[in-house]
A and B are shown apart, each in its own frame.
Chain A
Amino acid sequence: MTARARLAVFLAAAAVIAAFFTAACTDLPPFGTDSHPYGERAVAAALDRRTANVVSAVNFDIRAFDTLGEESILFGTVLGATLLLRRARDERHRRAEADRVMPTTRLFGALLLPVTLVVGVYIVAHGQLSPGGGFQGGVVLATALHLAYVAADYRALKKLRPLAVLDVADSLAAASYSLIGLAGMIAGGAFLKNVLPLGTFNTVTSGGTVPVLNAAVGVEVACGLIALLAHFLDQAVELTDPDQQRYGDT
């Protein structure tokens, strides 16, 4: 199909989509409406379980089973990317070289890395109270480690990043989510039921299983993301292109 024909087919399809979408939008409840029946029930359920952050309560308590699927997708992606980005037979491994970095950049990294780590742990641990949680905090934790790559070089990052340990931690954290669910089934009769003591509203220990699941997801996201980025960075930094070797134009 030529580019012009493809565009014509798309424009026809887009007109149909636009017409039906507009028709559907006119029948939606008005923007900014006062009636949110599901939202109100979710808020009531979250306050009942003494979880101050209602979004976390929805994700890790009311819809905890969906989040199991979500973190499995993440785990599957890390596995898939590891498989796709493995070293091929005709690729050579090249040791990353030590790079020169400006002293100010180095200072920036050395100061910011521990701060970012603490912020990451804080966001994971306070997911049931304030905006944040396992997914968001996990990303901050993974980013913190990569400040070593910005402020020093790839070798420094590799020293900070024991991939074998992280892979095992990733799997254990993914498995522990299901185990917490099974524990809920044994103790309370339903998978992922919130069986832990609910604690005092608006304290770190409130919310029952919500902070525990948040921690499991936080570890999984942090380890998974570091492993994922490691494979992408290996491609860019440590592997030499077989074609470049063949033609010698490195």
Chain B
Amino acid sequence: MGTWVFLAAGWVLLIALYGLVTSRNLIHAIGCLAVAQSSTYLLLLAVGYRRDATAPIYSDLTPGTRPVVDPVVQALALTDVVVGATVTALLLALTIQLRKRHHTVDPQALTGLKG
């Protein structure tokens, strides 16, 4: 199996990009962006995985008795989730304003500039 896990992350990214490119609704596009972001979680956690290892938490584990997976990429995934949530929130706020001012959420119908 090996490389297939990494390739799955790339596949999720490309599917999300396909959704973004063909999107006819900004809410749907924001969802696609969230899917694209989730491909990075998959890649990070796959990079940090170690066979037969447990979570890097020592509250119920004596240090040194079992191998643990890489905690550095897990911390990066946490940062990734937080940033993803903030980006989604800001984009949704922008979409609300767009719907109010231009009366559409279809990105392909947004052609004119309006002051």
Contacts and interface: CB of A to CB of B under 8 A. Distances in A.
Given A52-B59, A73-B82, A17 B71 contact: no
Interface string B1-31: 1111111001001100110011000000000
Nearest to A11: B18
B22 A70 contact: no
B59 A53 contact: yes
Interface stretch (A39-47, A98-106, A159-167, A173-181): A39-47
A250 interface: no
Contacts of B90: 77, 80-81, 84
A130 B72 CA distance: 16
B72 A31 contact: no
Interface range for A: 35 or more
B59 A232 contact: no
A36 B92 contact: no
A53 to B, nearest CB: 5
A158 B51 CA distance: 49
Interface string B41-82: 000001111110001111100010001111111110011011
Contact of B93 (A21, A74, A85): A85
A29 B56 CA distance: 20
Given A28-B6, A47-B58, A232 B86 contact: no
Contacts of A53: 56-59
A231 B78 contact: no
A84 B98 CA distance: 10
A55 B50 contact: no
A42 B71 contact: yes
B95 to A, nearest CB: 10
A29 B50 CA distance: 11
B18 A39 contact: no
B10 A21 contact: yes
Q: Which 3 A-B pairs rank lowest in CB-CB distance, beginning with the nearest? A: A39-B70, A32-B51, A77-B86
Given A58-B71, A81-B93, 20 more contacts: A17-B10, A21-B7, A21-B10, A22-B7, A28-B47, A33-B50, A34-B50, A34-B67, A39-B73, A42-B72, A52-B57, A52-B59, A54-B57, A58-B74, A63-B75, A81-B89, A131-B55, A232-B93, A241-B100, A242-B100
7 contacts: A31-B3, A39-B70, A42-B71, A52-B57, A55-B75, A77-B87, A85-B96
